[in-house]
Amino acid sequence: MLKLMKYELRKTMFSKLVLLCITGVAEIAYLVGVFLKTDKGDQILAFGAIGLMMCMMIGIFYIGIDSLISFHRDLNTKQSYMLFLTPKNSYQVLGAKILENGLSIFLAGVFFAVLIAVDASIGILYIGGVKEFLDLLNQLMISIQININLTPQQILMPFFAVLAGWLMTVVSGDLAIVLSATVFAGKKFSGLVSFLIFLLIDYIASKVLNAVPVVRDLMVQYVMIIGACFIMVIVMYFVTGWIMERKLSV
C-alpha cells in the first residue's frame, strides 16, 4: 500500500512542486512588502497576500483535480497496466490514491494555515511594532471576551470541514470516472453521462451533509460534518472498489 502511495505521490509531484514555487514567489513578495514600509511596499504586500490566498484556494482545489486527472489516465490509457498488473487489488489501488490525495489536501491545508498564521504575525509585528501588536492583542482579547469566543480552533474547524468536503467531492469524481470506464464503457456520451452522475452523487452527498443534525456547540457541529464527509468517502470508496474489481477492463 505504501509503495502504491509512493507512486501516486510521484505522479502528482510536478503540479505540487509548481504550486510550491508559486507560493514561494507570493510569500517572498509578501515579506518584501512587509519590510519595505513604503507605498510601493504596500502594493507588493497586497500582491503577495492576495497571491497567497489564491495559492491556497486554487492550489488545494487543483490537488484534488490533479488526482482525478491522474485516475482518469490510470484507467483509460495503456499506463493502466502499471497498476493493474501488480499483485494488488482494486481496493488497494483506489485506496492508495484516495489516501495519498486526502493526505495531500490535509497537509496542504495545514501548510497554508501555518504559513498564513506566521505571515499574519510577522506582518502585525513589523508593520505595527511590538507595542502596537501587544495592544492589538489586548484589544482582541477584550473583543473576544465580549463578542463570540473566536479561538484558532474555531477558525480552523470550518476550514478543515471545507477540506473534508472537497475530498468527498473528489472521491465522488473517482466514482464517476469508474462508472464511465465500466458500466458506460463504449457507450455514446459516456463522459457526459458520468458527469451528470457525478453531479447527482455530489447533490446526494450535500443532502447527506444537510441531514447532519444541528447542534448548539459549533465545535461538535463541525466534527459531525467532517465525520459525515468521511463516512461518505468510505462508502463511495467501497462502491467504487467493488465496481472496479468486478467490471473494470483496462
Q: Which residues bind another protein (CB under 8 A)?
A: 3, 6-7, 10-11, 78-82, 84-89, 186, 246-250
CB of 19 to another protein, least distance (A): 18
Q: How far apart are CA 193 and CA 34, in angstroms?
A: 50
CA distance 23 to 17: 10
CB nearer another protein, residue 5 or residue 157:
5
Beta-carbon neighbour count of residue 118 at 10 Å?
Answer: 11
Which lies closer to another protein via its Cβ, residue 82 or residue 107? 82
Please report how close the Cβ of residue 194 comes to another protein at its closest, in angstroms. Answer: 17
Contact between residue 34 and residue 126 where contact means Cβ atoms under 8 Å apart: yes
Residue 131 or 246: which CB sits closer to another protein? 246
Task: Specify the residue, 10 or 37, whose C-beta has the smaller distance to another protein.
Answer: 10
Residue 134: strand, helix, or coil: helix
Tell me the three cell numbers of residue 25.
514567489
Q: How far is the CB of 84 from another protein (least distance, A)?
A: 6
CB atoms closer than 10 angstroms to residue 146 = 7
Least gap, CB of 197 to another protein (angstroms): 20
